[in-house]
Chains A and B, each alone.
Chain A
């Protein structure tokens, strides 16, 4: 390790604020780049699930209609 203490590592002879703020901003953006697609995927899956359910209930209603129809 180049620095003698943790305090020096944070302070970096006055440059710490620049180095660590760069690091923090990059970290936040990069975490966002992983979280966002995962959320998009979840949302897409939920949508497809809903559609499947909708289709199933529509089909069930249709079948019921046919079954309930009076025989002539």
Chain B
């Protein structure tokens, strides 16, 4: 049996060139889908959904806060798994995805923290408390910052990749802690609205736009990840002949 033949798809998947050319076609569709989902979700959530009986209109911050948090956490898994795949199979593209995931994850975690703080003022009477959920999210932000910072501490790309992957994998311990923090410690942050088992603790009229926003944020995440990865590919594969050809073929692209 030809072992090499079987694994060609796997190697093609890890080829920066293949990724760059494929995503060129996906980008416009993804951009349109993202924009449509986010606009629909926001108009629905901010203007159409009824206000919360206890929190009033301030609850509408949920339509940014929850999707940003959910995707910031999922993004950490994506970054850590990309790092692991890079370490195990030595796939360059995998490391590029890992590096691209870091700034997006950091930005989304920051959005989650800031919107949470703003939401806290009218609801809890304070912008910040050292609650278990909030503190573990802050640690997530620092883990993302760590992965971003590591790239600048090494002059060697490969060493920086490996260090980043190891840090992402070690930091993965924090993610389940964040998920469980509202159950383990009874503090100020309210328990999860959406559960994997059982119905959401939310009226369908309020829940539907939240689902649209979460899908929209996932779509946005993929879009941003692809854009960052494409820039990273050009930056690191500058010696490759296909990159040189690409650049000399379209010098007008500004």
User: Which A residues are within 8 Å of any B CB, using their own CB?
Assistant: 1-3, 9, 12-16, 18-19, 21-23, 25-26, 29-30, 32-34, 36-38, 40-42, 44-45, 47-49, 51-52
Identify 11 new A-B residue pairs, CB closer than 8 A, beyond the known A42-B254, A49-B248: A1-B48, A2-B47, A15-B58, A25-B118, A29-B107, A33-B104, A37-B227, A37-B228, A45-B247, A49-B251, A52-B244
Chain B proximity of A42: nearest CB distance (Å) = 7
> Looking at the complex, which one of B56, B224, B232, B238 makes contact with A15 (CB distance below 8 Å)?
B56
Q: Closest approach, in angstroms, between the C-beta of B36 and any C-beta of chain A? A: 15
Q: Are A3 and B47 in contact (CB under 8 A)?
A: yes
B46 x A13 contact (CB < 8 A):
no
Interface string of B101-128 (1 = CB under 8 A from A): 0011001001100110011011000000
Number of interface residues of B (CB under 8 A): 45
Residues of A within 8 Å of B119, CB to CB, are 18, 22
> Given A34-B227, A38-B227, A52-B244: A22 and B47 within 8 A (CB)?
no
Q: Which residue of A lies closest to B117 (CB)?
A: A22
Query: Can you list 16 A-B pairs, Cβ within 8 angstroms, ordered by A?
Result: A2-B47, A2-B50, A12-B57, A12-B60, A15-B56, A19-B58, A19-B61, A30-B220, A34-B224, A36-B228, A37-B228, A38-B227, A40-B232, A41-B231, A44-B238, A45-B234
A25 and B115 contacting across the interface, CB-CB below 8 Å: yes
Q: List the B side residues contacting A52 at CB < 8 Å.
A: 244, 247-248
